[in-house]
Amino acid sequence: MKTYPQQVIDWVNATEEALGEDFFNDDLFTNLEIAVNTYREIAGQAAFESWVATGEVDLTDEDLETIMGNTILQSAIRSLREKKLIDWVEDEHGEPVYWVTELGKEYIEKTKDI
């Protein structure tokens, strides 16, 4: 996790612990380490932005739902990249551009006749 003010770090740690195994489990994530690190990154950024704006971490339930949804999506993408099934680069606007790798295409081919 980036270096954040202690209040932000405490909030991220407390919410991660509160979510615990109900959220961070093998049924939802193929790589728990990626999932936890992704959560810390996304939650840390959101908490830091709140802290900068208000002087404290004041995120709503809706904000936490967004963080959790983004964690699921980004963890899946990062897991696929780790398995070398997809890859990406950033375009000139800093946005990711994704593509299926040759290995990923091989897996797609294998499933066509199923």
Ramachandran region, residue 23 (left: φ > 0; alpha: ψ -120 to 50; beta: rest): alpha
What integer is the mean pLDDT of 81-102?
95
pLDDT digits (tens, 9 = 90+) for 53-83: 999 999 999 999 999 999 999 999 999 999 9
Q: Say if residues 51 and 63 touch (Cβ distance below 8 Å).
A: no
Tell me the two tokens of residue 2. 């980036």
Q: What's the pLDDT band for 40 if we cut at 50, 70, 90?
A: very high
pLDDT at 1 over 70: no
Domain ranges of the chain: 6-83, 85-114
Min mean pLDDT across 22-26, 34-38, 52-56 is at 22-26
